[in-house]
Structure 1
Amino acid sequence: FVGTRPLPLVGVTAVVEHEGMLLLGRRSDNGALTPVTGIVDPGEEPADAAVREAAEEAGVVIVAERLASVHQIPRVTYENGDQSDYLDLTFRCRWISGDPFPADGEMTDIAW
């Protein structure tokens, strides 16, 4: 793609459950409350991306148990004019270990 033409990307959302609670964080860029999300790396299995993103963003170890939803996110246009079309794969995940904390700066706070 050249310039600001839309770039198609695959993203993941990890809905992490533990003892009836969900893991949610506050995004550092816009303050929105959200589950763990991220972009699938080239050649990476989407479920593995959900597990990786949970470790990177929240410092927790999880298991992606099943694909729960697939949907196209409305086109995102960034301040510099770049555009992305994200196909999001949402996984239901189970917490294994780790106390959640904002590990990589993408979240300002994260908790059950």
Structure 2
Amino acid sequence: MCPTDPADDRASDRVDAHLGLLAAPACRYALYFFGGSSDATATPSELADWAVTTDRVDPDASRDRLAVRFHHAALPRLDRCGAVTYDAADRTAEYRGGADIEALVALASRAEREGW
């Protein structure tokens, strides 16, 4: 067995974290929103309004339930991973992105559109 380079472990952890974000639908939708919008900020309600107008979510999804999911789960998780800065008191998320996240989001979006 080869010794591992600590830098490789950190890179692997980042890849795992970013792929984990894409595996969570609400996180993925928020990243899709920011990736396709000129707005760098959004509220959970704005994200939910956008999500229900796309063909990416269940047509029976409740806009209010999505907004709650964005507020309590997706945006705090994206904040912990550094993809957004989320102020829960003001209910405002600011996109921070980055080339690595944007590349993975583009790949996931293409996979969903093309039905991989």
Structure with greater Cα Rg: 2
Q: Higher RCO, 1 or 2 (CA under 8 Å, sep at least 6)?
A: 1
Fold shared, TM-score > 0.5 on shorter chain:
no
TM-score (norm 2): 0.29
TM-score (norm 1): 0.30
